[in-house]
Amino acid sequence: MSQDAQLRIISALVEHKPGVLYRISNLIRRKSFNIESIAVGPAEIPGLARMTFTMFSDYGRFDQVMKNIDNLIDVRSVEPLEERNATMRELALVKLSPGAPVTRPEVTNFIEAFRANIVDLSPDSLTVEVCGDPDKINAFINLARNFGLKQVARTGAVALPREMITQREMSNGESILR
Amino acid sequence: MSGAQAVVEALRREGVEVVFGYPGGANMPIYDALYDFQNFQYTPLNERSFRHILARHEQSAAHMADGYARASGRVGVCMATSGPGATNLMTGLATAYMDSSPVVAITGQVPSYMIGTDAFQETDVVGMATSVTKYAFQPLRVRDVPYAIKAAFYLATTRRPQPVLVDIPKNVQQTEDEVEFPNHVNFPNYQPLPDPDPTIVKTIARAILEAQWPVILAGGGVKMANAYRELQAFAELLVAPVVTSFMGKGAFPENHPLSLGCMGMHGSERTNKLIPECDVFLVIGSRLSDRTTGKIEKFAPNTKVIHIDADKAEIGKNYKLPVVSLVADAKKALQALIREVEVGMMGRQRDAWVKRAQEVMVMAKTESDDDGAYLSGVETIKMLRRLLPPKAIVTTEVGQHQMWCEQHFQVIEPRTFFSSGGLGTMGFGFPAALGAKVARPDVPVFDVAGDGSFLMTENSLATSIEEQIPVTAVILNNRMLGMVAQWQRFFYRRRYSAVHLGRSPDFVKLAEAYGAEGVRVETLPELETAVNRAMRSPVTTVIEVPISPEEDVLPMLPPGAGIKEMIVG
């Protein structure tokens, strides 16, 4: 992978029907990308779904795969998003089993510092929900290793473009498909 | 009407005149509907019937449909049953996909309530076909069948032509329901290509008019868009030489004074050396594959490349930085360019351009093209060109004979040369020749084959006899997998591994066993007699031409080498 490899975000509005996720993920596989995360759910228009993919790629290969995705019959529209011009959120459930010498206040301080919530509690473990951009989730999980990390479940990032971005950035985003 | 009847009726409404197929458990209702529709004898096309041609292997059915599509410019239709029938189709669909040929495949599937249970002859055909088709439908209700078939034809023929699959569960074929046949279909994110952007057309026209030394590269896209006449008019207007990729071979008459022939791995040496010298390289309908350009980093570093293609995903894929690119249908793009350039050429001194073009042509002229004295692969191809009329259709298999055709078989008329250039499918040529002959019964159709390739789909001989589709197969028999052997000779120190095919079969007896005519020729005059006879024969002829196992295809651009670094001998 060349120097300009970075986390790329794809947001696609697609037909909400069987086989569409397969077509897109199969295409991405065929171009030898590893999908870092994927999140799918119904969109604001009935019958359509919005998919958010993230993957590491250089610009050239990313541009290529974007065009291929846009060529798919079931894809209504697809746009590349960048962290600087998109709102991006991910949710993770993290199960901890903190043992000595970690104290309960240390655990709660850690959770509060990330504005995370305890959603399940048992005598020897607790499950925490943490929400934020993927970097924040990564940071939380890394630190959680000091607090008896047992299990992680992540939703994958979802993203939407920010509205208050300059015209120039907007046109950059679109030119990728021309 | 049943789902099966809806299939047949939908095909009739698309104006289908022939279907190539093979029946089996899961598509029997469709074949039963065909039985009502027509008897299986050949009848001239009329409003109520189309012809079904029984292949002897589903791969061949797909190649026949592909050959029919390439020869006619219409959709080629093939059918197969579920499971092995459908998996056998895949090679044919992948071949059509790589060469952008409009094929519609209709497969039977196990009943919808058994899908996913590993039922007898169940395969995930839609899943398998996804990578080698533009789209794959699986209508689960009778009323969805006409829409799926209409949509399949629409998708296969618009924008970049590509194969489409319709997989129909058996119970959907059997169920009776009210059906409506839509007149058109609509895909929100898929529209036919818009007219070429006038601003970009102007930019391209200006770049060409300002060029000292423009060269046009025509790819398969020119042929698929049926833009033969436009390309010729454009090149003549500019007095610009035209080179083609292998897939573009025949997009421009190769006996035309402005033709530079083919470039690439087995293109002409002088043409390959010339291309990087031009200042503007106008690419139309080519993906600039490695077989065409050699190592892309070494390809024409000082040349302005302009790229026109029907598929936006081809722009910047192999050649990263065209100075201008245009996503458009090749025919419309050329028409628009002609209008722009006509104005620019008006009152312009053409003498300098003509002189420059003449110099280029002299430089590109290949070494003495004298005929040899003995029977070889190359001499066979040259003789075929002399004997066959320009309108005759030639298909090829894959290997040395295919590349000898690239080098020595001048293609003159549109839609007369078909080869598996993208996928490189051995076994394509003979069934494709049958499909082409069905499309063009008025012209001689020849398959140039190697002894290895021919055996891949040799059983299509049965189809050619039983369905009375007379074609000729010319088998260059070197008793080797010649191209693999050549690479072993060049790149693996003559360590011949698994390339000796030996003396089996006897191709003359093989042909006769099928009821075809078989003839072995030992000299050039014998070859001439055999070819002339085959052209007039009412049955398929197999001409076996024994050649040396050491004959190479030269010149050759080694894989990974730059376009100027050819091996010449």
Are A77 and B189 an interchain contact pair (Cβ–Cβ within 8 Å)? Answer: yes
Q: Report whether pLDDT(B47) > 90.
A: no
> Is a pLDDT exceeding 90 seen at residue B254?
yes
Beta pairing partners, B474: B448, B543
At B551, the pLDDT band (50, 70, 90 cuts) reads very high
CA angle B184, B187, B192 (to 5 degrees): 75
CB contact under 8 A, B189 and A23: no
Spatial distance between the Cα atoms of A60 and B205, rounded to a whole number of angstroms: 27
Number of helices (H), then strands (E), in chain A: 5, 9
| Residue of B119, B150, B118 lying closest to B135 (CA atoms) | B150
Q: Given CB atoms, is A17 within the 8 Å cutoff of chain B?
A: no
Residue in chain A nearest B159 by alpha carbon: A71
Please report which confidence band the pLDDT of residue B40 belongs to, taking 50, 70 and 90 as the band edges.
Answer: very low
This model of the complex carries an ipTM of: 0.86
Question: CA of A30: which chain B residue's CA is closest?
Answer: B131
User: Phi first, then psi: what are they for B459, rounded to 5°?
Assistant: -65, -5
What is the C-alpha to C-alpha distance for residues A82 and B561, in angstroms, rounded to an integer?
A: 38
> Do B313 and B284 contact (CB within 8 A), yes or no?
no
| CA gap B113, B94 in Å, rounded | 29
Q: What percent of chain B has pLDDT over 70?
A: 94
| Predicted confidence (pLDDT) per residue in B408-461, tens digit | 999 999 999 999 999 999 999 999 999 999 999 999 999 999 999 999 999 999
CA-wise closest residue to A86 among A10, A2, A5, A148? A10
Average pLDDT over residues B16-36: 94
Split at pLDDT 50, 70, 90, the class of B41 is very low
Q: Name which of B502, B514, B501, B503 is nearest B541 in CA terms.
A: B514
Phi, psi torsion values for B176, nearest 5 degrees: -95, 140
Q: What is the mean pLDDT of residues B26-35?
A: 94
Question: Does residue B336 register a pLDDT over 50?
Answer: yes
Sign of the C-alpha dihedral computed for residues A117, A121, A123 and A125 taken in this order = negative
Model pLDDT, residue B42: 40
Q: What pLDDT band is residue B10 in, cutting at 50, 70 and 90?
A: very high
Query: What is d(CA A32, CA B376) in angstroms, rounded to the nearest whole number?
Result: 44
**Spans of chain A below 70 pLDDT:** 1-3, 165-178
Residue A11 to residues A37, A55, B1, B78: CA-CA distances in angstroms?
12, 12, 43, 37
Q: What is the pLDDT of residues B263-275, one digit of tens each?
A: 989 888 878 888 8
Scanning B73-116, the segments in alpha helix (DSSP H) are: 84-98
Spatial distance between the Cα atoms of B42 and B254, rounded to a whole number of angstroms: 36
pLDDT, residue A175, reads 43
Nearest to A23 by CA among A90, A69, A84, A65: A69
On the question of pLDDT at B337 being above 50, the answer is yes
Which residues are A75's β-sheet partners? Answer: A14
State the pLDDT at residue B565.
86
Structure tokens at B129: 């076909």
Print burial letters for A115-145: b (CB count within 10 Å at least 16), e (below 16). Answer: ebeeeeeeeeebbbebbbbbebbeebeeebe
Nearest Cα to Cα of residue B456 among B418, B431, B426, B498? B426
Other Cβ atoms closer than 10 A to B375: 21
CB within 8 Å of A71: residues ≥ 6 apart: B311, B312, B313
Tell me the pLDDT band of B72, cut-offs 50, 70 and 90.
Answer: very high
| Torsion angles phi and psi, residue B44, rounded to 5 | -60, 150
Q: How confident is the model over B476-481, as a mean pLDDT? A: 96
Residue A18 three-state SS: coil
Cis peptide before B555 (omega within 30 of 0): yes
Instruction: Of B219, B105, B225, give the one whose Cα is nearest residue B161.
Output: B225
Q: Give the pLDDT of residue B282.
A: 96
User: Please, which residues have CB within 8 angstroms of residue A115's CB and are 6 or more apart in sequence?
Assistant: A130, A131
> For residues B416 and B390, is the Cβ–Cβ distance under 8 A?
yes
B313–A64: do the CB atoms touch at under 8 Å? yes
Question: Looking at residue A166, what is its pLDDT?
Answer: 53
The residue type at B171: N
Nearest CB to A75; choose among B131, B189, B317: B189
Distance CA B254, CA B392 (A): 15
* B198 in Cβ contact with B206 (< 8 Å): no
- What is the mean predicted confidence (pLDDT) over B314-327? 91
Tokens standing for B420?
Answer: 């598996």
Integer Cα distance of B481 and A125 in angstroms: 67
Query: Mutate which of B100, B135, B189, B321 to test chain A, going by most A C-beta atoms within 10 A?
Result: B189
pLDDT of residue B61: 98
B79, pLDDT greater than 80: yes
Residue B84 has pLDDT above 50, yes or no: yes
Q: What is the mean pLDDT of residues B30-54?
A: 70
d(CA B166, CA B105): 6
Contact present, A151 and A94 (Cβ < 8 Å): yes
Q: Does domain A6-81 have CATH number 3.40.50.920?
A: no
Chain A partners within 8 Å of B144 (Cβ):
none
Answer whether residue B262 shows pLDDT above 90: yes
Q: Please, are residues A62 and A79 in contact by the beta-carbon 8 Å criterion?
A: no
pLDDT in tens, B376-396: 999 999 999 999 999 999 999
Residue of A61, A73, A174 for testing the chain B interface, max B β-carbons within 10 Å: A73
Residues B364 and B537: beta-carbon distance below 8 Å: no
Q: What are B64's two structure tokens? A: 């026949």
pLDDT at B271: 83
Spell out the domain ranges in chain A: 6-81, 87-158
Active site residues per annotation of B: 58, 120-121, 170, 483
The domain made up of A87-158 has a fold known as Alpha-Beta Plaits (3.30.70)
Percent of chain B with pLDDT over 90: 79
Query: What are A101-145's pLDDT values in tens digits?
Result: 888 899 999 999 999 999 999 999 999 999 999 999 999 999 999
Q: For residues B542, B547, B553 and B554, what is the CA-based torsion angle, rounded to 10 degrees?
A: -130
Token pair for B304: 């302005």
Does residue A45 sit at the B interface (CB-CB below 8 Å)?
no
pLDDT above 80: residue B348: no
Q: How many CA atoms lie within 13 A of A26 on its CB side?
A: 14
Give chain A's end-to-end CA distance (angstroms, integer): 24
Nearest to B61 by CA among B84, B41, B44, B39: B84
Distance CA B479, CA B500 (A): 6
Mean pLDDT, chain B, whole residue set: 92
As a whole number, mean pLDDT of residues B458-471 equals 97
Contact at CB, A64 and B316, closer than 8 angstroms: yes
**8 Å CB contact between B177 and B1:** yes
Residue B141 dihedral angles phi and psi, to the nearest 5° = -130, 150
Q: Closest approach of chain B CAs to the CA of A97, in angstroms?
A: 41
CB B30 within 8 A of CB B4: yes
Q: Which residues of B85-94 are buried (b: 16+ CB within 10 A; e: fewer)?
A: bbbbbbbbbb
Looking at residue B44, what is its pLDDT? 43
Give the closest-approach CA distance of B326 to chain A in angstroms.
Answer: 9
Q: How far B507 CA sits from the closest chain A CA (Å)? A: 41
Show the domains of chain B with their CATH numbers. 3-174 (3.40.50.970), 198-364 (3.40.50.1220), 377-546 (3.40.50.970)
Residue B383 tokens read as 């003789």
- The region, left, alpha or beta by phi > 0 then psi within -120 to 50, assigned to residue A23 is alpha
Q: Which residue has the higher pLDDT, A98 or B102?
A: B102
Maximum CA extent, chain A: 59
| Residue B203 touches partner A, C-beta closer than 8 Å | no
Q: Which residues of B touch A72 (CB under 8 A)?
A: 189
| Res. B37 pLDDT band, cuts 50 70 90 | low
Place of tokens 């073009």: B357
Say how far apart CA B473 and CA B384 lie, in whole Å: 12
Residues β-bridged to residue A125: A122
Is the pLDDT at B365 greater than 90? The verdict is no
Contact B240, B214 (CB under 8 A): yes
- In angstroms, the CA B111 to CA B382 distance is 53
